[in-house]
Structure 1
Amino acid sequence: MILFLFNLNNMVFYTESDWRGVMNHIFKFAFIFIINIIFLINASATTMDKDKFVEANGIKIHYVEEGEGPPLLLIHGGGLTAKSWQGLAKEASRYFRVIMPDSRGHGLTNNPQGTFSYDLMTEDMAAFVKALKLEKPLVMGYSDGGMVVLKLTSRYPDLARAAIVGGATHRFATAHYMQGMEIFYGKGMPQGQLMDRDLDKMASDAPGMVKFYQNMHHPEQKDYWRTFLKGVWPMWTTPTSLTEEEVKKIHIPVLLLDGDRDEFFTVEEVTQLYRLLPQAEMTLIPGSGHAIFQTPGKTPLFYALVLEFLQRQLPKAS
């Protein structure tokens, strides 16, 4: 089979054996494009509310909030910050008090021990909810935040009213997941601990990613991006999962929301989680990859799905 693409000057032919490499380049360029969009949004954004901090689980958690009403806790993805939720927060704040923390070691939240784990971040969020005295919040997490939401609602079944898990399943660092890591961060990156030479390679292969991290996470520390990635990489690339028994402890309503072209999680994996959860709904956003809330042209659908589910979980007016 012969496949072909057009450029401005020439017709370029690709054999089937070449096609995988072409697609990897397309995915990488698409991801860099989306990262640049996120960076520009964050760089130009006004503060949603005055920066706030609270001590919880031994760290100083930075958070912002917007709106009034029933509490909605948004937990961002790995490598992002609370500001990544700005678009959704603008819509949701018409109905909810939207609370957006920076996760441990992300944004302006500190990480004195320098260690990361999903279990530790789960306890951070449990302590955060307690510190802010949030009563039965709605919770939503994306990617890393999705894993935290799954662990949080399994470990503390009565903490939340309902949950949304976006761009995540109950199994991380699978073979398919690691293929996604290659698309986003380049080939040849190890599982487990990163070395300085690995970070040098990343700086060469993905300078836009490095610039993004430098601006988003403790920008007062020029080389914090190296500290951050060395700390978080083992968590990102070490297989971790919830058992079936742990998943079945999540008895609240849960919406699973993912792109049908997610580079990290297959539709089959999301479906497996859907079948394990006692009260689950599942929606796939067509034509969307992992960055479901930033896919050009898909954000209105994303917002509508999220808000429709959340509003159904509120107590009915008597």
Structure 2
Amino acid sequence: MNLNRRHFIVAAFASLAALNRAAAAERWKSLPATPPPVAGRSARAQVNGISLYYVELGEGSPVVFLHGGLSNSDYFNLQVPEVARRHRVILVDSRGHGRSTRNAQPFGYDLMTDDVVALLDHLQIPRAAIIGWSDGAIIGLDMAMRHPDRVSRVFAFGANTQTSGLKPDVDKDPTFAQFIARAKTEYERLSPTPGEFDQFLHQIEKMWETQPNWTDDQLRAIRVPVLIADGQYDEGIKREHTEYMAATIPGAGLLILPNVSHFAFLQDPVLFNAALLDFLEG
């Protein structure tokens, strides 16, 4: 994939002959089940006053998967086995999410980015590729700006770099509302503080209301290869904002996956994995 082009929309991935056309037309409205955990080496790292849960599997150049807000690392488990064939994969539950703990510090992207950097230090990994979805993609871009020596490339799916890039009333979208309900159930099952979901949700929503708000100059300072990706029917991110990010980050690519939404990696993992592997091997 040629990242020297400012914009490109990969439509070649659009139709796979084996897919049923009628099912594909409605795929973006679905929220498939969260995949089960992968068989890897799970552990915890004590970083920045919290216990950060992570799983490792595979060998090769390191790739860190960072999930979206309110979710957990299991959401990427349809991608991980494919990537782990050629790479050392590190799956992370962000602070306060999944199996990781949180402390009294307010949630913020800089703080969660520093958690990932501290985890890389703990694992003695000097530099890694970042695969991020939503909040995880924002963390990946934050790393590219603030810790450029620790990032080899960033696949940023469903990100925003300004709060104005979010669609209003996204919580009223049926698919997104279903996701929040599922997140509550998963939080109660996985979290070290299972009874505190409402407090957790309030804190994350407060972060979303105020962060991120990066300037053009901050985005133009990014020098690592970046692919800005999103689904054709993303429930929460404005298309013009996705295009703006790709146009502003030097050399960034733009990828719009057809017939999928903010949850493309669950809705069409074959398509998502093809794009992801192409970027990593590029």
> Displacement of 1:37 after TM fit?
0.9
SS class of match (2:118): helix
* Structure 1 residue 126 corresponds to structure 2 residue 117: yes
Paired residue total? 257
**2:100: which partner in 1?**
109
Q: Does the 8 A contact of 2:78 with 2:266 survive in 1?
A: no
Question: What pairs up with 1:31-110 in 2 under 5 angstroms?
Answer: 33-34=30-31, 37-38=33-34, 41-42=35-36, 45=37, 47-110=38-101
Q: Does the 8 A contact of 2:72 with 2:93 survive in 1?
A: yes
CA–CA distance in structure 2, aligned partners of residues 208 and 81 of structure 1: 11
Q: 1:165 aligns with which of 156, 177, 200?
A: 156
> Displacement of 1:302 after TM fit?
0.6
**2:167: which partner in 1?**
177
CA–CA distance in structure 1, aligned partners of residues 122 and 33 of structure 2: 33
Question: What pairs up with 1:125-274 in 2 under 5 angstroms?
Answer: 125-172=116-163, 174=164, 176-183=166-173, 208-218=182-192, 221-274=193-246
> Displacement of 1:181 after TM fit?
2.6
CA–CA distance in structure 1, aligned partners of residues 205 and 131 of structure 2: 23
CA–CA distance in structure 2, aligned partners of residues 217 and 234 of structure 1: 20
**2:18: which partner in 1?**
none
Matching residue's letter, 1:307: L
CA–CA distance in structure 2, aligned partners of residues 247 and 271 of structure 1: 13
- Unaligned segments of structure 2, at least 5 residues: 1-25
CA–CA distance in structure 1, aligned partners of residues 111 and 216 of structure 2: 21
Residue deviations 1:246-285 (CA, integer Å, cap 9, x gap): 1111101101111011111122111111111112111100
CA–CA distance in structure 2, aligned partners of residues 57 and 213 of structure 1: 22
RMSD over aligned CA atoms reads: 2.5
CA–CA distance in structure 2, aligned partners of residues 302 and 157 of structure 1: 26
TM-score normalized by structure 1? 0.74
**1:294: which partner in 2?**
266
TM-score normalized by structure 2? 0.83
Larger radius of gyration: 1
Q: Does the 8 A contact of 1:80 with 1:216 survive in 2?
A: no
Q: Does the 8 A contact of 1:81 with 1:102 survive in 2?
A: yes
Overall identity of the aligned pairs, in %: 27
**2:17: which partner in 1?**
none
Q: Does the 8 A contact of 1:81 with 1:216 survive in 2?
A: no
SS class of match (1:65): strand
Residue deviations 1:225-249 (CA, integer Å, cap 9, x gap): 1232132221123353211111111
- Unaligned segments of structure 1, at least 5 residues: 1-26, 187-201, 313-318
Matching residue's letter, 1:71: P
* Structure 1 residue 311 corresponds to structure 2 residue 274: no
CA–CA distance in structure 1, aligned partners of residues 103 and 273 of structure 2: 35
**1:67/1:115 Cα in 2 relative to 1: closer, same or farther (>3 Å)?**
same
